[in-house]
Amino acid sequence: MEIRYRGELAIRSRGLSLAAKEWGSPDSRPVIALHGWLDNAATFDRMLPSMSDLHVVALDAAGHGLSDFRSDDASYDIWLDVADVIAVADHMGWDRFTLLGHSRGAIVAVLVAGSFPDRVSHLAMIDGHVPIPATEHNAARQIAKAIRDHRRFGNASPSFFSSFERAVHARSNGFLALQLDAAEILAQRGVRQSERGFYWHNDQRLKGTSSIKFTREQLQSFLAAVSAPTLLIQAQQSIFTRDDKEAELFASIIGLQIVDMAGGHHLHLESQHARVAQEISRFLSQHE
């Protein structure tokens, strides 16, 4: 049965309302889909209609899309998203579920799968990368930078644009550049209008550094704890480069399948969306 969009969800997690797009039949395989940094749940709009027999909750992470921002005293340390994912699964009544993650969402998915291996049945990552490991001697400077960033971005306003189209072009040509039509899909969900103009509705604090980062040993422990069958689709023209150290960390996931695919960092939202959907469908059927 092909996947069709069902509507919007609002899910409570520790005082926040998290928005999500629901796809597919409740009788199908449960999937939680996690987008990348400063993106939103619409990142999966092109690939999901090419798939079948899935019940997908594509989440707007806190501070993104239609979801609430975290409170003034909170941070956006990535492990907070782990609790949000579990809250979504509990809300849906899913004891076990598949995780699909792109970029930052792939990192969150790994942390969830490593922390709760009994609950994650399958893990699929799209151009996921291991965070740069921290070193013990840098901890004090890391805390100081996080505090400075929290003050800086907590008081920052988003960039405003004179038109919706200019906001789309800015995203298309930004740090994580993507094709214009792909940027417009994200903008339909992520851009709002005020008296000052059009702006991307993301919490500016997302641009700050984490207060604490994982060491190489800690990252390896998360990856080694993943017991679910795991797929990693690597974009050959990604802005992020891979090295032997990252490959060694990913090798901690037993039985990891890696597929190299032509395309940029957002290949699942650009011209390769059908092939990405096909590879993930093949992977899931292979591990029924």
Active site residues: 103
Strand partners, 22: 7, 57
Question: Within its chain, how far is the Cα of 263 from the centroid?
Answer: 18
CB of 122 closer than 8 Å to CB of 98: yes
The tokens for 151 are 């003050």
The tokens for 137 are 């001697």
Burial class of 95 by CB neighbour count within 10 A (0 to 12, 13 to 18, 19+): exposed
What CA–CA distance (Å, rounded) separates 237 from 266?
10
CA distances from 38 to 24, 134, 150 (A): 25, 23, 17
CB-based contacts of 188, cutoff 8 Å, min separation 6: 42
What CA–CA distance (Å, rounded) separates 46 from 58?
12
CB-based contacts of 49, cutoff 8 Å, min separation 6: 2, 3, 4
Strand-strand pairing, 197-200 and 191-194: antiparallel
